[in-house]
Structure formats: structure tokens, C-alpha cells
Amino acid sequence: MNLRTIGAVLALSALLAPAHAQTEIQWWHSMTGANNTGVNELAARFNASQKEYKIVPVFKGSYPESMTAAIAAFRAGSPPHILQVFEVGTATMMAAKGAIVPVAKVMADAKEPFDPKAYLPTVTGYYSDSKGNLLSYPFNSSTVVFYVNKDAFKKAGLDPEKAPKTWKEFVAAAEKLKAAGQQCVYTTGWPAWMHIENFSAWHNVPIGTKQNGMGGFDTEFRVNSPLHVRHVAMLGDMAKGGLFTYSGRRNEAEARFASGECAMLTSSTGAQGTIGRTAKFAWSVNFIPYHDDVKGAPQNSVIGGASLWVMAKKPAADYRGVAKFFSFLSQPDIQMYWHTSTGYVPITLAAYEMTKKSGFYDKNPGHELAVKQLTNKAPTDNSRGLRFGNYVQGREVIEEEMEAVFSGKKDAKSAMNDAVRRGNDILRKFEAANK
């Protein structure tokens, strides 16, 4: 290549380069597999839609890992613009007033139109402060649903089209399944999320005082109520009787259902993709069971998943790009893309309607069921969500105590009392650290 061609190439590339450098917006997330593809697609679509900003999605490991990385980055003075934080980290983020910028403020400062009423109340309620200001952007929200292996039901002489609605029916069905030779009758993913958090919301009983911690850090756990004890004791009895097989604290249970080993499963709506790919039997997605003697049940379930937090300490001009990106994410067609390709629920009512009209739910009833369960009734103080300081540890404590019941080491009452006592210690420490 001679000098002249090099010169020509240089001149050409100078012409092609944009006149203004784009502002890069760093987005740290924890999405893997199909969800990761979705994240990259969202960023690509946003970047193609305008020239000023460029969203750069960076996978930073699991939820706790990316949160730890962001904390370290913040301490070092270079946090990302946007950080995806799982729901149990909400209180920690919220308490870090100097480290985050509330989404409501980001939108208002950038003069981006933003109407909180356009969103599903169960979703926004979880991430808003007591005055209703949205603190973080609800990105990927799921909830827990009840999966049934229809073939196993048929084999046990049960009606495969009628999944148990109440826990009474559930236990009766479980006994029949066991009698029919089912090795593992029922298992659950995310035990505390299902059997404490969603269980409480579904029965409209508090998990803790102060509206489940939404009203302030001086909250206390209430998971040793007679109803909670009764429910955990029931699970303990089922475990002893071979009706309930414990699989672990995360989503290990999902694979055991998908393989046909277990006939019933309660786990995240996000499991539908995996089950759909691997299950070699007919299955259905249903509302989680309830105790029919509890007044007002079923109420509505609560969400899990993660939200996007905007970090402080970035150049003021960058926040306009963040606001624009959030507006982009709220568009119904974008929401619909995310909802249908991942199994997370749509966060705006418009996106829900749009998906409904598209006929997607006729083929994938499970996706709609989650929305229906979340919006079953208008959320109460007990079912809006929860916000407990350092709930990463708190949930772990509850799960440890539940494991003690399932393995027969403790009775339900003393285990739940211990969970409350130990959980409250964590809450007090968090309160002291965030005065």
C-alpha cells in the first residue's frame, strides 16, 4: 500500500466518523442466556434510534457480583450510569442516598414525559418511596407461579385440567400422586420468595411491620404469625411424608420439574422458557395455591427480579441520555419484545394490552397468568412489596430456618421465632448503619 492510498483511507474514515463524539452510557447487568440476548438487542435498538447517546451493556456476573462490583466502583469514584440490582438489594440501594439518583428525578430533570400511572401498580409500588416517587426503573419483573405436570396428574387419576386451587386440594392431590408412585411429588424454587414473601402477600398478611418495611427502616419481621407457622409446619409435614422434596435455595427445583422427576413445582415465571424447551410432557401454569379459610385470600402476588438504578457521580449531561433510554424502554413495542422473549412481565398496561391483542397469550397462557396473578386485586400494604435492610442476609436467615424445619431439626414455631429474632438483629444493624 503506498502513501497515497493510506492518505485516502484516512481521509475517508475521517469523513465517516460522526461529527460529535457520542456520550457512552454504561449499563451493568446480570442477564444470561436468552435474557442477555434481549439486553443486547434493547441496547442495539436504542442506539440505532438516535445518535447522541450510546448504551453500552456490560455483563458483570450474578446479581450479588454486579452489585459488589458497582459498590467497589462507586467507592473508587467511577460507578456505571445504570446498574441492575435484584429486588432484595432494593433497601440497600435506597438507603445509599448519595450513591443513587431516583429515577423520578432523572426523568424530571431531563424533562422526559413520565407517568407512573401507565405502569403496573404491583411493579412500580415495589420500587417507589412512600410518596410514590419511582426510585429505580422496574426492568425485569417476574413472579412465582405454580407448575403442574399434566401427564403425571392423569396417571394418578387426577383431572389434568384442574390444578389444585387451595392448599387443602394441593395436599390431597399430592397424596394421590405419591400413591401412584410419583417419586418426587412437589418441589419449589426460591423457598423464601415463594413460601414467605409471596405467601404473605397472597394471604394479605404482613411480612414485617411498617408496610413490610416500605414505611421506614425501623421495621420488624412478622413471619412467626400463626398463619406462617401453620404453613411452614404443613410443608415440614409434607417433607416428612414424602410429599415435598426440598431442592435448594435457588432455582435448582426447576430442572427437577422439567425432567419429569417432580410432578408439581412453584417457581419463577422465568422458568417457562427452560421448561418449554426440555419438558417431554404436557404441563400447565397456574395461580399459586392459598389457604381457603384465610379471609381475603387470594390477594395478589409480589414480584421478584431486578430493577435499574441510576448511579450518582456522573457528568450531569449524561443523565439526559439515561432518561431517554428509560423512555425508550417504556414504549409498548419494546416492552412487548422484552416480555415475550424472556417471560418477565410487561411493566406498562399499554404493553400488556398490546401483547394481548397480538394473540401471543392464546399460545402462551402462562405469560398472561403471571400478570393476572400480580394484578389479581389492588395491592394492599401487605402485598405491595417489601423493603428490608440487608435482605440478602435476611432472606438467607429465613431460608436456613425453613431448612431446619424441612429436615426435621426444628419445629415450625421455634424456627420461625428464630428467623424473626435473627432477622430483626440484621434489620437493627442496617438501621444503625444508615442513620
Partner 1 sequence: MEKRVVFRSAWLPYALVAPQIAITIVFFFWPAVQAGWYSFQLQDAFGERTQFVGLANFAALFSDANYLYSFKVTAVFSLLVAGSGIAISLVLAAMADRVVRGALAYRTLLIWPYAVASAVAGVLWAFLFAPSVGIVTFALRSIGIPWDWVLQGDQAMLLVVIAAAWKQISYNFLFFLAGLQSVPRSLIEAAAIDGAGPGRRFWTIVFPLLSPTAFFLLVVNIVYAFFDTFGVIDATTQGGPAGATQILVYKVYYDGVKAADLGGSSAQSVILMAIVIALTVVQFRYIERRVQY
84 φ/ψ angles, rounded to the nearest 5 degrees = -85, 120
Place of cell 422465568: 270
Determine, following the binding rule CB under 8 A, whether residue 156 of this chain makes contact with partner 1.
Answer: no
What's the closest the beta carbon of residue 2 comes to partner 1, in angstroms?
51
Residues 45 and 133: their CA atoms lie apart, in Å, by 28
Determine, following the binding rule CB under 8 A, whether residue 178 of this chain makes contact with partner 1.
Answer: no
Residues 210 and 421: their CA atoms lie apart, in Å, by 17
Provide the mask over 291-330, with x wherever binding to partner 1 is found by CB under 8 A and - wherever it is not: ----------------------------------------
Window contacting partner 1 (CB under 8 A); options: 12-20, 70-78, 134-142, 206-214: 70-78
Smaller CB distance to partner 1: residue 41 or 411? 411
> What cell was used for 227?
398463619
Smaller CB distance to partner 1: residue 248 or 273? 248
Sign of the dihedral through C-alpha 50, 53, 54, 56 = negative
What's the closest the beta carbon of residue 25 comes to partner 1, in angstroms?
21
Identified binder of partner 1 from the candidate list 109, 261, 318, 411, rule CB under 8 A: 261
Provide the mask over 182-211, with x wherever binding to partner 1 is found by CB under 8 A and - wherever it is not: --x---------------------------
Identified binder of partner 1 from the candidate list 121, 160, 248, 296, rule CB under 8 A: 248
Considering only residues 96 to 135 of the shown chain, the ones binding partner 1 according to CB under 8 A are 96-99
Determine, following the binding rule CB under 8 A, whether residue 422 of this chain makes contact with partner 1.
Answer: yes
Determine, following the binding rule CB under 8 A, whether residue 240 of this chain makes contact with partner 1.
Answer: no
Of the candidates 147, 169, 167, which has an alpha carbon nearest to the alpha carbon of residue 158? 169
The tally of CA atoms less than 13 A away on the side-chain side of residue 387 is: 24
Smaller CB distance to partner 1: residue 213 or 332? 213
Considering only residues 5 to 64 of the shown chain, the ones binding partner 1 according to CB under 8 A are 64
Identified binder of partner 1 from the candidate list 118, 180, 239, 350, rule CB under 8 A: 239
Beta bridge partners of 310: 82, 101
DSSP run (H or E) holding 63: helix 63-75
Of the candidates 310, 308, 305, which has an alpha carbon nearest to the alpha carbon of residue 329? 308
Residues composing the chain: 435
Identified binder of partner 1 from the candidate list 4, 295, 363, 435, rule CB under 8 A: 435
Residues 67 and 100: their CA atoms lie apart, in Å, by 13
Window contacting partner 1 (CB under 8 A); options: 138-146, 152-160, 169-177, 427-435: 427-435
What's the closest the beta carbon of residue 23 comes to partner 1, in angstroms?
24
Identified binder of partner 1 from the candidate list 247, 272, 300, 348, rule CB under 8 A: 247
Smaller CB distance to partner 1: residue 91 or 214? 91
Residues 352 and 336: their CA atoms lie apart, in Å, by 7
| Secondary structure class of 369 (helix, strand, coil) | helix
What's the closest the beta carbon of residue 96 comes to partner 1, in angstroms?
4
Identified binder of partner 1 from the candidate list 251, 259, 327, 331, rule CB under 8 A: 259
Residues 333 and 354: their CA atoms lie apart, in Å, by 8
CB atoms within 10 A of CB 164: 19
- 171-178 long-range contacts, Cβ below 8 Å, gap at least 24? 171/234, 171/238, 171/243, 173/264, 174/238, 174/243, 174/244, 174/264, 175/243, 177/152, 177/153, 177/263, 177/264, 178/241, 178/242, 178/243
Residues touching partner 1: how many (CB under 8 A)?
43
Smaller CB distance to partner 1: residue 368 or 401? 401
Provide the mask over 373-412, with x wherever binding to partner 1 is found by CB under 8 A and - wherever it is not: -----------------x-xx--x--xxx-xx-xx-x---
| Cis peptide upstream of residue 298 (ω within 30 degrees of 0) | yes
Would you say 334 and 258 are in contact if contact means Cβ atoms under 8 Å apart?
no
What is the binding site for partner 1 (CB under 8 A)?
Answer: 64, 67-68, 71, 74-75, 92, 95-99, 184, 239, 245-249, 252, 255-256, 259, 261, 390, 392-393, 396, 399-401, 403-404, 406-407, 409, 422, 425, 429, 432-435
